[in-house]
Structure 1
Amino acid sequence: MSDPVVLTDCCLAPTVSASSASYAQKETLAFEGGVIVFVGEEASLPRDYAQAPRRSVEGRVVTPGLIDCHTHLVYAGSRAREFEMRLTGASYEEIMRAGGGIFSTVEATRAAGEDELLESALSRLDRLMAGGVTTVEVKSGYGLDIETELRMLRVARALEVHRKVTVRTTFLGAHAFPKDMTADDYLTHICLPALDQAANEGLVDAVDGFCETVGFSRKQIGRVFDRAKALDLPVKLHAEQMSDQKGAMLAANHRALSADHLEYLCADGVAAMAEAGTVAVLLPGAFYALGETQLPPIQTLRDAGVPMALATDCNPGSSPTTSLLLIMNMGAVLFGLTPQECLKGVTVNAARALGLKDRGTFEVGMRADIAIWDVTDPAELTYRMGDAPLKQRVFGGELC
């Protein structure tokens, strides 16, 4: 149990209230035993904490620790040459023929041992943490065989052993399927058995899939979701990134934690997500890197009250970034989100997208995961294009 700490002169950035101008500049925040025990004016601080050490943050912005709720952090290899080919007009088919695309990452990841995967993932994680991240989701999906999918998940689990961060693991065996197999055969002989084994080893917190014309059909994803339900695991889905396959409706019907990407999301899908409480995870990094033009239906999601989260989608093919702050800026500039929506998207709504109810807001009883920024206006975090300086992280009440 950590000793009590009192932070004074905080500019607490709001993650619940609707107004971006409603932040408090002289608030006091106290935490003990890894949880928040007081939020308010210093004059109202309970007597129990009168003698606790005080640290003035001198009017700096204080937010809940940031949450990156969609990453592919564990992988090997690089696809920089593929990026160069795209810039010169190469089609996806041409890139695939040249050895690029997801299968180049699969090949490199299969060839990498756990130590190599861990080292590279820790490097990416360190950059996320330097940007205020205290919780991160990590997917499998670059193995497409049982051995490598499990290896990726073991590495993801190991990250929080080596760093002060919470890691949520997601099984994404239904990411793609090998060239020499049909999708259904892959599900039957590799994906679903890998999921069973991963669940038996305690390696999985949630189950994901890629519902798209170049991925898996609704019926095939339904098989994955049914197995997840049998294993008592929550689900989420890559949906409507390239076309409207009604994946978000499928996800909502299974009470999914989130549906992610959503550029081609239809009104019926929005309504289904609103009814189910499914979070819309927006991924502007992939939108930007792939030069997409179809925007997610932001206003329709707003009007329906669907919570919107933001995430890096850190991956080698379509979003090679480890800056959640840059994603906040992209969410504002490319998608038209307000700075307040961007902040909620990487705190309270991101927590909801991971099924976590103990973080993301400044409330008594919540985890003391906190980021202190060397800025004095919360809008700076979105405005500064990824370079808002982090003064200090607090993880579970421990000053890092």
Structure 2
Amino acid sequence: MTTAPFDHLILGASLATLDGADYGAIRDGAIAWRDGLIAYVGPRAELPGEPSSIARVVERVEGWITPGLVDCHTHAVFAGDRAVEFEMRLQGATYEQVARAGGGILSTVRAVREASEEVLYAQSKPRIDALRADGVTTLEIKSGYGLDFENERKMLRVARRFGDESLTVRTTYLAAHALPPEYAGRADDYIDAAIDWLPKLHAEGLVDAVDAFCEGIGFSPAQTRRLFERARALGLPVKLHADQLSDLEGGAIVAEFGGLSADHVEHTNDAAVRAMAQAGTVAVLLPGAFHVLRETKLPPIDAFRAHGVPMAIATDCNPGTSPLLSLRQAMQLACTHFRLTPEDALRGATVHAARALGLADRGVLRVGLRADLALWRVNHPAELCYWLGGDMLDTRWVAGRPH
């Protein structure tokens, strides 16, 4: 019998391929890869070739293998923390009151500006390590706490440093996150500056996508469009913090630019949902911020379902509104708050999250895609959303390499 073209093979595992209904489940399965790409996935009984002829064979694996998790919206590179603001909100202060009082994003901006690149890396590393340890194999990291050229550059450089053979990192330019104090009352001038910085940072290979905070306490639709026009001219995809606190047509704006994703989307209206569906824009649900801010306005989940808008799940890991270090916990919160099913949530943290980053080569266990996998110590994939906390990850493989 001809030897199968594999350089690594796992036998006997249960597979949640997500390639089909009911998790795309295969019990007593086999999955093999070569040169970092999946070469076989299916029932063990249908495996071609002789396993004994393959150099690395793992047999009788217990648990479930899923695609590696994809955290498609984080602010995980920052300095300091904002635990005091958490107390303020519990005492009645709103998100807007904290921000307008000079706290919120601007307090983190001060900490980031004061930190050297090495300090910023050292303070961010435990968060990145925690996300990795929870099954994440692909991670998005935004800038947006520098708010001047050198500090936005510093943040993006640090984010890039976390990308290695154990983790794919995608960087997002979010200079349009808040108005820095030196531009007080001059938001249009600041957007001009942010537009000017973008091509320079892109030329250094530091930017994969462009984002903005389109909100009453952020930037207007007109200012957002100006930034997005520059991104489009540079060939960079866009995504948007959209409709989190109010409906400023953020979902429609990002769809207008064929954007990758509209994120938060609690206040997105039905017309914008239809526009997102037509543009192929993913809705990124961020239940961590919803939970921490004790929001009550639910995203239009039924409308997203009705119009076929894919729903991704992300941690939104950030120091102020979502100090969340577990994508699996975000999946659980999405089930609890938004009534997603565990299968919806797993798809949201894999295939739909990958799509929200413009990555079509991962998120599903399918021949020809990257061998980004996670082996979990569970008896059913629903347990990934059932348990609150706990260490369930056995092994991650990134492009076929175990970690």
TM-score (norm 1): 0.96
List per-residue Cα deviations over 1:71-102 (Å, max 9, x = no partner).
Answer: 00111011001111111123456535765211
* Aligned mates of 2:97, 2:237 — CA distance in 1: 37
Letter in 2 for 1:318: T
Query: Which residues of 2 match residues 1-400 of structure 1 at below 5 A?
Result: 4-20=7-23, 23-47=25-49, 51-52=53-54, 53-92=56-95, 95-96=98-99, 99-161=102-164, 164-181=166-183, 182-188=186-192, 190-387=193-390, 389-400=392-403
> Per the alignment, do residues 398 and 92 of structure 1 end up closer, same or farther by CA in structure 2, a change over 3 Å counting?
closer
Q: Which sits farther off after the overlay, 56-65 or 214-223?
A: 56-65
List per-residue Cα deviations over 1:18-51 (Å, max 9, x = no partner).
Answer: 335x522211000111110001122322227551
* Aligned mates of 1:105, 1:252 — CA distance in 2: 30
* RMSD over equivalenced CA pairs, Å: 1.6
List per-residue Cα deviations over 1:323-351 (Å, max 9, x = no partner).
Answer: 00100000000000001100000100000
Unaligned runs of 5+ in 2: none
* Aligned mates of 1:329, 1:270 — CA distance in 2: 24
User: What SS class does the counterpart of residue 395 from structure 2 fall into?
Assistant: strand
> Per the alignment, do residues 311 and 110 of structure 1 end up closer, same or farther by CA in structure 2, a change over 3 Å counting?
same
* Aligned mates of 1:93, 1:264 — CA distance in 2: 16
User: What SS class does the counterpart of residue 105 from structure 1 fall into?
Assistant: helix
Letter in 2 for 1:186: Y
* Aligned mates of 1:303, 1:95 — CA distance in 2: 36
Q: Which sits farther off after the overlay, 49-58 or 253-262?
A: 49-58
User: What SS class does the counterpart of residue 81 from structure 2 fall into?
Assistant: coil
Q: For the Cα contact (< 8 Å) 1:325–1:388, is it kept in 2? A: no
* Aligned mates of 2:223, 2:101 — CA distance in 1: 29
Unaligned runs of 5+ in 1: none
* Aligned mates of 1:361, 1:168 — CA distance in 2: 19
Shift of the alpha carbon at 1:61?
0.7
User: What SS class does the counterpart of residue 163 from structure 2 fall into?
Assistant: helix
* Aligned mates of 2:269, 2:249 — CA distance in 1: 8
* Aligned mates of 1:168, 1:282 — CA distance in 2: 18
* Aligned mates of 2:134, 2:396 — CA distance in 1: 9
Q: For the Cα contact (< 8 Å) 2:71–2:136, is it kept in 1? A: yes
Q: Which sits farther off after the overlay, 190-199 or 76-85?
A: 190-199
> Per the alignment, do residues 261 and 57 of structure 1 end up closer, same or farther by CA in structure 2, a change over 3 Å counting?
farther
* Aligned mates of 2:299, 2:234 — CA distance in 1: 32
Q: Aligned pair count?
A: 396
Letter in 2 for 1:369: D
Q: For the Cα contact (< 8 Å) 2:317–2:325, is it kept in 1? A: yes
> Per the alignment, do residues 48 and 196 of structure 1 end up closer, same or farther by CA in structure 2, a change over 3 Å counting?
farther
* Aligned mates of 1:59, 1:160 — CA distance in 2: 30
* Aligned mates of 1:357, 1:125 — CA distance in 2: 23
Letter in 1 for 2:188: D
TM-score (norm 2): 0.95
Q: For the Cα contact (< 8 Å) 1:284–1:327, is it kept in 2? A: yes
* Aligned mates of 1:185, 1:312 — CA distance in 2: 32
* Aligned mates of 1:124, 1:260 — CA distance in 2: 21
Q: Which sits farther off after the overlay, 118-127 or 147-156?
A: 118-127
* Aligned mates of 1:300, 1:386 — CA distance in 2: 30
Q: For the Cα contact (< 8 Å) 2:240–2:263, is it kept in 1? A: yes
* Aligned mates of 2:324, 2:83 — CA distance in 1: 13
Shift of the alpha carbon at 1:11?
1.1
Q: For the Cα contact (< 8 Å) 1:373–1:388, is it kept in 2? A: no
